[in-house]
């Protein structure tokens, strides 16, 4: 894909910092007025929805070493006993939360993230999973997913995880180019990745995802095209192509990256375009702004039909009304409130050992937040907003209640990024690449941005 001079001018015009909208309001709007008592109140509210399933996210933050590009909340340790103790504390938190949920203990989605969840030995992980399921039941169609690092995940890990019910796997790759790998402090061979995914398929994993990152130091279009070619040899069911956010003022480990080695804005865009062309030419269906799936995958079918969903764990067709999150720094979405756990390991463990929930901040959503969040999600995920359905769902008059936003959309429509009618808003053409800019029109908090905001750029 190549852009005309006019399109490149538009890209430069709209290239500015903006949220990825994993949530709305975004995490920068969380505050410390939401703590353990607020979380307990919302768990009590959630417990009344006994017929509704839950999503559960478990954060396992330990890694043997930290990659230089990483922006996750991780704990670097060469002492397995520290990770063992963490899992013991984590089970205490899970039990505390399950007790507050009462009879509502059915999961439709379970996701382990990190860190490196396979830091521990295979048998230990299987035992831990069984202990979690002492507190929850699984629906027959439950998605049971785990993020893995192919450098440390063995065939024994895969066999143990499959044996206790895991059915989806996401493998971090980032880039197979050795120059890029050296520039980000992560050496990982193609053979390690291919072997891991082959083992997952042998043991019956229903879906395998590969994560790539564009905008890394030393990346070139030609080099990333070779990475895409190698990924297509594996042919994962799903692929995520994330843009690298270089924020060394926040992530100290990123200071090891030489900023002069980062591709320019136009080069970064060309790299992403190479990925888009590569995967679409190979038959993958684009999802949202940076994911792809094989046409037979359930996410691809949902995207084609305009019913794709999204939560903190990513794109899904198994949305549950509440997401419970356990572990260091994890963020839940419970009965209308976002709640985030303590980010500091010792403080998190002290809270749980003392019998308290470890919530340190969050946001209780207003009705306006709920409406705007629904609008933003539809635009970001399905590139379409049914205005009449939104009016019926929330009891509003869109033209009146969002008159300012419709006015702000007009320049984007003139630039060919959106099409607006009384019935719908459609993100079209170059707008799909700049969908974060479209979503920001409906973000009430971005109208008066604060100095503490730090977001990656939209291109």
Instruction: State phi, psi for 138 to the nearest 5 degrees.
Output: -110, 140
The predicted structure's pLDDT at residue 286: 93
Nearest to 430 by CA among 403, 402, 459: 459
Q: What is the pLDDT of residues 375-392, one digit of tens each?
A: 999 999 999 999 999 999
Confidence label for 361 from pLDDT (cuts 50, 70 and 90): very high
Q: What is the pLDDT of residues 226-259, one digit of tens each?
A: 999 999 999 999 999 999 988 898 899 999 999 9
Candidates 3.30.470.10, 3.30.70.20, 1.10.10.920, 3.30.56.10; correct CATH number of 1-25+366-452?
Answer: 1.10.10.920
Confidence label for 209 from pLDDT (cuts 50, 70 and 90): very high
137: pLDDT strictly greater than 60: yes
Q: List the chain domain ranges.
A: 1-25+366-452, 27-325
Confidence label for 1 from pLDDT (cuts 50, 70 and 90): low
The whole-number average pLDDT for the span 293-315 is 91
The predicted structure's pLDDT at residue 47: 96
Question: How far is the C-alpha of 289 from the C-alpha of 242, rounded, in Å?
Answer: 9
- Per the prediction, the chain carries an average pLDDT of 94
Nearest to 139 by CA among 382, 295, 302, 320: 320
The predicted structure's pLDDT at residue 97: 98
Q: Quick one: 27-325 is in which CATH superfamily?
A: tm_1862 like domain (3.80.30.20)
The CA-CA-CA angle for residues 317, 321, 327, to 5°, reads 95
Q: What is the pLDDT of residues 442-455, one digit of tens each?
A: 999 988 765 555 67
């Amino acid at each position: 894909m190549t852009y005309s001079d006019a399109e490149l001018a538009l890209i430069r015009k709209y290239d500015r910092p903006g949220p990825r909208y994993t949530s709305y309001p975004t995490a920068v709007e969380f505050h410390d007025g939401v703590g353990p008592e607020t979380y307990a109140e919302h768990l009590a509210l959630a417990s009344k929805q006994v017929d509704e399933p839950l999503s559960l996210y478990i954060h396992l933050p330990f890694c043997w070493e930290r990659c230089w590009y990483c922006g996750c909340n991780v704990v670097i340790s060469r002492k397995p006993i520290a990770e063992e103790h963490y899992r013991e504390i984590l089970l205490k938190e899970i039990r505390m939360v399950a007790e507050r949920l009462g009879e509502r203990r059915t999961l439709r989605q379970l996701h382990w993230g990190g860190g490196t969840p396979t830091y521990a030995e295979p048998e230990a992980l299987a035992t831990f999973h069984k202990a979690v399921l002492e507190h929850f039941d699984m629906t027959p169609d439950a998605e049971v997913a785990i993020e893995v690092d192919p450098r440390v995940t063995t065939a024994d890990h895969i066999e143990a995880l499959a044996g206790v019910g895991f059915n989806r796997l996401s493998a971090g790759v980032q880039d197979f180019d050795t120059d890029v790998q050296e520039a980000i402090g992560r050496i990982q061979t193609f053979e390690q990745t291919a072997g891991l995914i082959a083992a997952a398929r042998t043991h019956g994993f229903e879906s395998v995802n590969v994560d790539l990152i564009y905008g890394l130091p030393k990346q070139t279009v030609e080099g990333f095209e070779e990475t895409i070619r190698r990924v297509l040899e594996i042919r994962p069911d799903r692929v995520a192509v994330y843009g690298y956010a270089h924020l060394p003022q926040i992530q100290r480990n990123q200071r090891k990256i030489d900023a002069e080695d980062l591709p320019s804005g136009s080069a970064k865009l060309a790299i992403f375009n190479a990925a888009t062309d590569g995967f679409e030419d190979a038959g993958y269906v684009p999802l949202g702004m940076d994911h792809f799936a094989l046409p037979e995958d359930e996410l691809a079918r949902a995207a084609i039909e305009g019913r794709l969903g999204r939560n903190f764990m990513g794109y899904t067709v198994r949305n549950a009304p509440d997401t419970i999150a356990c572990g260091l720094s994890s963020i839940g979405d419970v009965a209308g409130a976002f709640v985030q756990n303590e980010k500091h390991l010792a403080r998190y463990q002290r809270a749980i050992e003392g019998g308290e929930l470890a919530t340190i901040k969050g946001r209780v959503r207003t009705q306006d937040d709920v409406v705007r969040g629904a609008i933003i999600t539809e635009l970001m995920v399905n590139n379409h907003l049914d205005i009449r359905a939104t009016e019926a769902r929330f009891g509003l008059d869109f033209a009146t209640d969002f008159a300012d936003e419709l006015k702000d959309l007009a320049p984007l429509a003139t630039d060919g990024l959106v099409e607006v009618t009384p019935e719908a808003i459609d993100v079209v053409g170059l707008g799909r690449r700049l969908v974060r800019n479209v979503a920001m029109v409906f973000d009430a908090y971005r109208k008066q941005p604060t100095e503490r905001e730090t977001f990656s750029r939209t291109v």
